[in-house]
Structure 1
Amino acid sequence: MIFEEEIKKSVFITQIAHTPSIESAKAFIDGVKKEHSNARHNCWGFVAGRPENSMMWGFSDDGEPSGTAGKPILAQLSGSGIGELAAVVTRYYGGIRLGTGGLVKAYGGGVQQALKLIQTIEKKITTQLRLELDYAFVATAQSELSKFSAVEVESYYSDTVTLIVEVEVNKVDALTQSIINKSGAKTMVSPVEHN
């Protein structure tokens, strides 16, 4: 996504990309720097993981006064509630100084405008659980699974029934407790180990 504006003869070009890792964020930033290698500044910020995970954040003022570019870019990204994003704001200097406040507004504002243009997709983090139960509890278990938007991935029928289900990580505890309670503690629930 690209947003471009001119402020007091300086041209600011904001580019935002989906970057699910720090490596992909750095690769995107390097690509923009190469594309605009003749620009005065290529300031950037990224939120490579979930928006609240500050261990996956990074930013640079790229020669602008400290705190006037990278931090406002990062503040817009982290405040958006959207993760896995990187933004580079390229500045072609027009000869007029903007001052500290003007720079903060220009860099943060460009990212804010670009964020309005992107389409987001909600990413749900899921895990798989193994349910071991008697035939008598299958209907009850399936009813509980639907309440928690859990999806049956596989099922095995022998002396007992084994269901492999996929559920959002934040619903695992509630689903587990509910199924154990409804079956009178006769259902075994365990995480599926992936090799």
Structure 2
Amino acid sequence: MTEKDTYNTITKASPEVLFKDKNSKFFGYAFPVNTEEDVKSHLEDLKKQHHQARHWCYAYQLGKSENDYSFRANDDGEPNNSAGMPIYGQIQSFDVTNILIVVVRYFGGVKLGVSGLINAYRTGAQMALEASKIVSKTINIEYSITFDYKNMNKVMRIVKEKNLNVIKQTLELNCELNISVRLNEADSIFEIFDRLYEIEIRTLND
């Protein structure tokens, strides 16, 4: 069985969505993120934008495959597991990653109870995701191939035959090509170049 080499994410922030329940307002947002620093930056911006809100609850997931997922869910003062986990549940339900969802609450004076909160935060997250454009991306491995100029035709023939994506090239006396290959094809492409005399290939992603 081939390893899954695609993942779903968003490439731009969702529009703001609003869910209301018993005078409480829940504003939902989805952001594409690649690092915890990205998460922090979006949270800081929303806290400035909604400085009078009561709670800024969120969940995020980073990573491109199940082996390297990392996630966090934060209730931000709401009852335990009534906000962050319902938001994270929608990330799982929509099967998206490298994403942050924040639901900002303005308290309307009427308590919703734990089940009401779970429903409100889940709905806010769901609406933010429904308002987002979800795209499928491939998981790629990047390789550097180094060789002498005399071997260029040999290398370029394989690049053309296999329709490889060249992301950077230096073609002088000492040549270097950086290529990006889908995860499922990466091992076979590595072996092709690795077997060639006077040509060196190494992985760049690590």
TM-score range, shorter chain: 0.7 to 0.9
Matched, 1:86 2:97: no
Matched, 1:107 2:125: no
Q: Which has the higher contact order (CA 8 A, sep 6+)?
A: 2
Q: Indicate the residue corresponding to 1:68 in structure 2.
A: 82
Question: For the pair shown, which has the larger CA radius of gyration, 1 or 2?
Answer: 1
Shift of residue 69 of structure 1? 0.1
**TM-score normalised to structure 1 length:** 0.75
Counterpart among 148, 159, 162 of residue 142 in structure 1: 159
6-15 vs 125-134, which moves further: 125-134
Alpha-carbon RMSD? 3.2
Residues 62, 99 of structure 2: 8 Å contact kept: yes
Matched, 1:3 2:17: yes
**Structure ranking higher in strand proportion:** 2
Q: Indicate the residue corresponding to 1:129 in structure 2.
A: 144
For residues 197 and 25 of structure 2, the distance between their equivalents in structure 1, rounded to whole angstroms, comes to: 67
**1:29-53 alpha-carbon deviations (Å, 9 max, x no partner):** 1221232232222211122443744
For residues 169 and 82 of structure 1, the distance between their equivalents in structure 2, rounded to whole angstroms, comes to: 19
Shift of residue 63 of structure 1? 1.6
Shift of residue 65 of structure 1? 1.0
Q: Which amino acid aligns with 2:145?
A: R
Identity of aligned residues (%): 24
Q: Indicate the residue corresponding to 2:169 in structure 1.
A: 154
**TM-score normalised to structure 2 length:** 0.72
Counterpart among 165, 173, 188 of residue 199 in structure 2: 188
List gaps (5 residues or longer) in structure 2. Answer: 1-13
Are the structure 2 counterparts of residues 78 and 139 from structure 1 closer, same or farther at C-alpha, using a change threshold of 3 Å?
Answer: same
Residues 59, 73 of structure 2: 8 Å contact kept: yes
Shift of residue 26 of structure 1? 1.3
